[in-house]
Amino acid sequence: MRVPACWLAVLLVAAGCSSDENTVLSGYPNIIIAPVRSSISAQMSFTDNTGTHQQWVVAMTDTPDLCTKITQHPDYFQNPIEGFDAAIVWVPPGKLGTYVEGQNVSGSVAGCEVIGGVPGVDGGPAQRLKLGQFLGLGGTISLSQFNVGPGGEAKGSFDIAVTDPSGNPREYIGMFKATYCVGMQSAQLP
């Protein structure tokens, strides 16, 4: 995906002015993940339209202590227990490098989604806004490190496109240094 010069400048300034290694710049004003308060990763069984397979997954949210919350509530992203905004990216396991959104490697597909969640009020149902990937724009997810298991870390960046409720592409750009979360292995995604 071609990055507009103004977005690249903003990302570089944000990275240069902060010791925070997790940054997400939003192209959709209703879901903004800033600051990133949790960044976690896991290798997990993943079910999508190609079947069930292993994926490396990174989730970034604007809420603290995501690992504990998703361990206690594996359906955290499906049935919000609190208000949150999140970006989730996934790639085929076992290889570092750069993947294009929708790229299929041995049955595992690189992808993403952005979610805004609101808990139910007065016994009402939880609400969530899910922006799925927008294929065809060349969005990328890059990994320079992905350690599996407790104490592991994942490092990388992304420049992805998701579809807003009107069907328009929206760009999210970011970088991450995620901590491996064993509890996320059982999370319900996407």
Q: What is the pLDDT of residue 49?
A: 73
For 77, half-sphere exposure in the C-beta direction (CA atoms, 13 angstrom radius) is: 22
Specify whether the CB–CB gap between 117 and 84 falls below 8 A.
yes
Closest CA to 77 of 44, 115, 24: 115
- Mean pLDDT of successive 10-residue segments in the chain (190 residues)? 44 43 93 95 85 91 97 94 95 94 87 92 85 89 95 96 95 97 90
The DSSP 8-state label assigned to residue 184 in this structure reads G
Q: What is the pLDDT of residue 190?
A: 65
Q: What is the pLDDT of residue 33?
A: 95
Specify whether the CB–CB gap between 101 and 139 falls below 8 A.
yes
CA angle 29, 31, 33 (to 5 degrees): 110
Distance of CA 126 to the CA centre of its chain: 20
Q: What is the pLDDT of residue 15?
A: 40
Extract the tokens encoding 144: 């320079």
pTM of the model: 0.87
> What's the CA dihedral at 9, 5, 171, 50 to 10 degrees?
-110
Write down the H helix ranges in 24-155.
Answer: 66-72
Q: What is the pLDDT of residue 10?
A: 44
The answer for residues whose C-beta is within 8 angstroms of residue 73's C-beta and 6 or more apart is 79, 81
Specify whether the CB–CB gap between 88 and 56 falls below 8 A.
no
